Amino acid sequence: MPRSSAVRFSHFLPSLLLLLAGLAAAYVKDLSVFFTSLFNVLPTLVLLLGGAYCAVYRRQRELFLMLTVYIAYFLLDTQTDFYRDNGKVREDAAVVFHLVCLLLPLLFGLFAAWQERTHLFQDMVARFAVLLAFGSVALGLEQSYPQALLLWLSEIRWPALHGAWMSLIQLSYPVFISAFLLLAWQYWRNPRPLHAAQLVGLLGVFWMLPKTFILPFTLNIMCSQVMLMIAAAVAHEAYQMAFRDELTGLPGRRALNERMQRLGRNYVLAMSDVDHFKKFNDTHGHDVGDQVLRLVASKLSKISGGGRAYRYGGEEFALVFAGKTLEECMPHLEVIRESIASYSIQLRNQENRPQDDQQGRQRRSGAGASAVSVTVSIGVAERVEQRTPEEVLKSADQALYSAKGAGRNCVMAFGQNRRGAVRMDAAAG
C-alpha cells in the first residue's frame, strides 16, 4: 500500500469528518423531538448494523471494538438517564464512571492492537473471555467494595503531574496515553483506514468522557460516531480490496471497468506492458520482479496530461485520458516511457543487506550493487465514432502488440506503422 501523504490523509478523512460532525451535534442546545428520539436509539442501531456488517466480513477485532464502546455507553447511559430524570446522580455513579474511564481505553487499545491470527472461533472465544474477565472483576469489586474501590480509583498518585484541567481520574490518563501511542505505532508500521479510525475513535472517547454529564446526548452521539468510524473503516478497506491493487497501490481492473462506463464522448486509452518481464523475473527472482512492478506503477501514477493509471493484470497497466485527443496524450506518454527507461534499479546481495536506511543510502551507489533497468511498450487508441470503451481498449492492446513488434520501448498509436513508433534512439539502434 503506498504511504504518500495523500493516501494517509484519505485514511483519516472519513473518521475526522465523523468526529467533527459528532462534536458539532453535541454542542447543539435545542434539539427537536425527532433528533432526541434518534440519538436515544442511534448507538443500538449502529451496533446492530455495524456489528452485522463486521460479522459478514468476519472482522472480529472491529466487532469487539464496537461491543466495548457499546458496553461503556450502556453503563453510562443508565447513569445519565437517572441524572436527567431525578436531577441527581445515583449512589454508584462515581465508581461506575471511574471504572469506565479506566477500562474503556484499556480494552479499546487491547482489542485494537489484537490482530486476528488464529482460528476465527478460537479468536472469538479468547476475546470474549478477556472481555468477560475484565467485566466480572470490575462488577465484583463494584458490588463488594464500592467505597474502597472508589478511593483507590480517585487517589492522586502523582501530585506533580496532576493539573487543574484534569477532569478524569489520574489513572485514566496514562492508560489513554499508552493506548494512543500503541495505536499510533501500529498505524506507522501498517497504515490502514482501520488503524486511522482507531486513533481518531480513541480521541473521540477521550473528549466524550468528561462531557458525559455536562452536554446532553454527548454520550449517545460520540459513541455512535466512534462505532461508525470503525464500520466505515471496514467498508473503506473492503472497497480497497475490491478496487485497488495491493502490490502497486494503483486502482485495479474492477475500478478500470467502472471508470470506462463513465467516460464521455472524447477520450484516449493506453495499454502499457513491461518489456521482457518474464525473463527478468526468472533471472532476478519474484521479489525483484515485484519491485519492478511497483516502480513502473509509481512512475505511471505520476503521468501528466490528465491521465490516470490502473493495474490491468500481471505486468500490464492501463492509462485513461478523459476528454483528451491522441495528439494531446502522445507527448505525455513518451515522457513517462522515457522516465521509466532512464531509471536504474540497484540490485544488492540480500545476505549482505544493510541494517538501517543510512547504511543503505551509503551503499546504494557503491561497489557490490549492480544496476539494471526496465523498459515499457505502450499502445494507445482514441475513441472515434460508434466505438465503445471496450473496443477502444482492444485497439490500444493491438497497438501495444505492434509496439512490441517494433522493437519494444516505444509508444505506438492504433493504426500506426512501425516506422511511426516513438522511441529512444538507443533502443532503435
Residue 17 corresponds to which amino acid? L
Report the Cα–Cα distance between both ends of the chain, in Å, rounded. Answer: 38
Cβ–Cβ under 8 Å, residues 335 and 304: yes
Query: Which residues make Cβ contacts (< 8 Å) with residue 135, sequence separation at least 6?
Result: 71
C-alpha radius of gyration, the chain, whole number: 29
Cβ–Cβ under 8 Å, residues 274 and 293: yes
Cβ–Cβ under 8 Å, residues 383 and 265: yes
- Phi, psi angle pair for 376, to nearest 5°: -130, 150
Residue from 62, 237, 315, 382 carrying the catalytic annotation? 315
Q: CA separation (Å) from 212 to 36, 69, 76, 83, 218?
A: 16, 14, 8, 11, 6
* Residues making up the chain, counted from first to last: 429
Taking alpha carbons only, the member of 105, 106, 326, 312 closest to residue 204 is 105
Q: CA separation (Å) from 252 to 9, 242, 263?
A: 21, 8, 17
* Strand partners of residue 317: 272, 311
Q: Please give the DSSP secondary-structure letter assigned to residue 351.
A: G
Helix (H, G, I), strand (E, B) or coil at 371: strand
* 427 Rama class: left (phi>0) / alpha (psi -120 to 50) / beta: alpha
d(CA 429, CA 423): 11
Can 327 be counted among the known catalytic residues? Answer: no
d(CA 386, CA 388): 7
Q: Please give the DSSP secondary-structure letter assigned to residue 238.
A: H
Taking alpha carbons only, the member of 392, 391, 413, 390 closest to residue 401 is 413
Q: Please give the DSSP secondary-structure letter assigned to residue 352.
A: G
Neighbours of 252 (CB within 10 A): 20
Residues serving a catalytic function are 315
